[in-house]
Amino acid sequence: MKTIFDSKFQKEVVLIGQGEIAVEKSNSRLISTTLGSCIAVCLFDPESLVGGMNHYMLPAPALEEECIVFSRAKYGVNSMEYLINELLKIGAVRERITAKIFGGANMFGQNSPNTSLTSVGAQNIAFAQSYLTMERISVLAKDVGGDHARKIYLDPTTGKVKLFRLRSQQMDEVLDSEVKYRKKIQSEDKHKDEESVDAKITLF
């Protein structure tokens, strides 16, 4: 996780990678991440005006012991609990928290011989929705699935999200990053300060 100054927004932007979370209560910072088959859940308390985002790779570990060895926020089951608890620490009230869900693309292609890879996005989407339902957290918006990568920016004090759909070249970079992370889950996620994006911006 690192912080840059983004000239487009004239604000500092906290960049989070796979297995990371960030929470903020300052209107001078945004939170951003780039997604392929991974999921980012953006949480917001409309009264305390605090928000946060996670970026998880898989719904749950294959072995329970992995939670101890690797990043606790790598898996959705740990990442969601971690994100909620960090928000509560900076003033959020659980009953007021709302959510927006992004990501879960089929980055590996429908004809991929590895069905475990092609189903990752769908599994991540299903987990996010079921977890939020179980926790009685309302989902106000979502942009999930499809076959395109996304870059999102959360304003933590308004709950608004700007979404950019990435072009093919950067989609390949996202795919390569996810494959490498899956092979070596402890490797650090590398971010770029500049991105090539389509002109269309979607607001949530």
The rounded distance, in Å, linking the Cα atoms of 162 and 27 is 15
Query: Which residues sit opposite 21 in a β-bridge?
Result: 54
In Å, what is the CA distance from 46 to each residue of 15, 55, 94, 97?
Answer: 23, 22, 11, 7
Closest CA to 100 of 150, 166, 171, 63: 150
Closest CA to 178 of 82, 87, 76, 55: 55
Identify the active-site residue in 38, 101, 128, 185: 38
User: Is-contact 18 75, C-beta < 8 A?
Assistant: no
42: annotated active-site residue: no
What DSSP letter does each residue of 14-29 carry, written as one string? EE--TTEEEEE--TTE
**What positions carry a catalytic annotation?**
38
